[in-house]
């Protein structure tokens, strides 16, 4: 297990930042282990309430559901970009709209702007995928303890205290 984790961490560092050093991973986000080896982080889309996102480094896009989209659209925090033909884990194809989210705050410590998110029907599980994670790259996904270490984050407290221009 230790060899697998070391290999996985090394691959992530190579893919998401070839010259990553330990100091780059300035934001540590605790994850909650779910069933069947899934991991979740708390995140806030726009100015909505905090919600859980499953961390999925195999998903090209962050995904939100239609309920979350409706709330973001009501406050003009999501902009339609295009339709996408996605291939689901079971091999079926699905056409989904892609929106630009004004902001996504991961774990209360990592503010990202202009995150592309695919929208799935109904009230499906939301996914933190590569469209968000690549903005916070390089990153480390740690199993013991469950933790997501991110780089290139804007601290939301610094953002809130910045003078308006």
In terms of Cβ atoms closer than 10 Å to its own Cβ (0-12, 13-18, 19+), residue 22 is exposed
Which residue ranges form the domains of the chain, and what is each CATH number?
Answer: 2-152 (2.40.70.10)
> Considering the entire predicted model, what is its pTM?
0.79
User: What's the pLDDT score for residue 105?
Assistant: 97
pLDDT in tens, 107-131: 999 999 999 999 999 999 999 999 9
C-alpha span between 128 and 121 (Å, rounded):
16
Answer whether residue 64 shows pLDDT above 50.
yes
User: What's the pLDDT score for residue 88?
Assistant: 77
Sign of the dihedral defined by the CA atoms of residues 151, 26, 98, 123, in that order: positive
Mean pLDDT, residues 140-162 taken together: 79
Q: How confident is the model at residue 5 (pLDDT cuts 50, 70, 90)?
A: very low
Q: How confident is the model at residue 165 (pLDDT cuts 50, 70, 90)?
A: very low
C-alpha span between 138 and 123 (Å, rounded):
31
Answer whether residue 6 shows pLDDT above 70.
no
Residue 65 · residue 120 · CB < 8 Å: yes
- DSSP character for 115? E
Sign of the dihedral defined by the CA atoms of residues 32, 38, 41, 45, in that order: negative
Q: What percent of the chain has pLDDT over 90?
A: 64
Answer whether residue 9 shows pLDDT above 80.
no
């Amino acid at each position: 297990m230790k060899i697998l984790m070391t290999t996985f961490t090394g691959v992530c560092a190579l893919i998401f930042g070839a010259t990553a050093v330990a100091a780059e991973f300035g934001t540590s986000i605790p994850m909650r282990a779910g069933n069947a080896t899934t991991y979740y982080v708390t995140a806030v889309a726009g100015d909505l309430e905090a919600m859980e996102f499953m961390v999925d480094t195999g998903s090209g896009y962050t995904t939100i559901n239609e309920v979350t989209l409706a709330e973001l659209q009501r406050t003009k925090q999501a902009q339609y970009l295009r339709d996408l033909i996605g291939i689901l884990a079971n091999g079926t194809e699905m056409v989904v709209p892609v929106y630009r989210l004004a902001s996504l705050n991961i774990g209360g410590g990592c503010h990202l702007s202009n995150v592309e998110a695919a929208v799935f029907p109904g009230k499906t599980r939301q996914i933190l995928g590569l469209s968000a994670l690549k903005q916070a790259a390089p990153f480390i996904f740690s199993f013991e303890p469950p933790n997501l270490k991110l780089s290139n984050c804007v601290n939301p407290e610094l953002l809130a205290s910045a003078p308006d221009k």
